Amino acid sequence: EHVCQYHGINYYNLIKREFSLSDDVILNFCKLNDSIGTPTKYVIPGLNERVSPTSLRYIYHTCLILNYICSLNLSNVNIVEVGGGYGGLALCMNYFNTNNIIKSYTCIDLPEARQLQTAYLSKFSVNFTLQFVDSSTYGSDVEGENLFLISNYCFSEISSLHRKGYSDTLIPKVKHGFMVWNEDNMHNFGKTLVRVEDERPLTGTPNKFVYF
């Protein structure tokens, strides 16, 4: 967990202001995501219940991503996430995939992280195909049309050698994507950027939302 109460409050306010989600919808996901393990929870003004700020960040990022996908008029989207954490974003994308825009979800990560994601997501029922791929292949075995790349706080943190591996192997296959970039220099990964915005809330000085 990396999200403090202060940022959790900010995520909640952004969700309400930018996407007008009901508190019931927000709380239902938080309770679902917070049901595994013992996450640190705080009372969020407005919700008036104790939730994990990490769950609120997953909701906000999911809304940003799905809103972007809808703006591109995409359907049957195959999500590829590089650096999937414990699987919380995948769960959140499933929770909000009510119109079945997402067809499949592939997590690319280190072996230990993939084991965690597999164990965590096996606790839930999901409405898209789930796959777990070893990061050593840089996505060489990822196939399908309408590939959409997500990498939040990962692609910008790995070494230039590994970035090049993805830039040469996976990224040419994807049409569009979204990243949360948290490193000073923006890496040229060969895609035309649609827009770059300061991260909201700003959790680090160089952090950006990157749409391509």
Of residues 191 and 121, which shows the higher confidence score?
A: 121
Residue ranges of the alpha helices (H) in 34-183? 53-71, 88-95, 111-121, 160-169
% pLDDT > 70, the chain = 100
**pTM score, two decimals?**
0.96
pLDDT digits over 100-156, tens only?
Answer: 999 999 999 999 999 999 999 999 999 999 999 999 999 999 999 999 999 999 999
Quote the Cα angle for 140-197-130, to 5°. 35
> Is residue 203 predicted with pLDDT exceeding 80?
yes
Q: At what angle do helices 5-19 and 53-71 cross, to 10 degrees?
A: 30
Dist. CA 209–CA 194, nearest whole Å: 11
> Is residue 187 predicted with pLDDT exceeding 90?
no
The pLDDT of residue 104 is 98
Q: For tokens 């796959």, name the residue.
A: 131
pLDDT digits over 32-46, tens only?
Answer: 999 999 999 999 999
The DSSP code sequence of 22-37 is -HHHHHHHHHHHTTSS
Dist. CA 73–CA 50, nearest whole Å: 36
- CB-CB contact of 29 with 55 (8 Å): yes
**Distance from the Cα of residue 16 to its chain's centroid:** 19
- Sign of the C-alpha dihedral, residues 108, 94, 42, 205? positive
Dist. CA 143–CA 174, nearest whole Å: 10
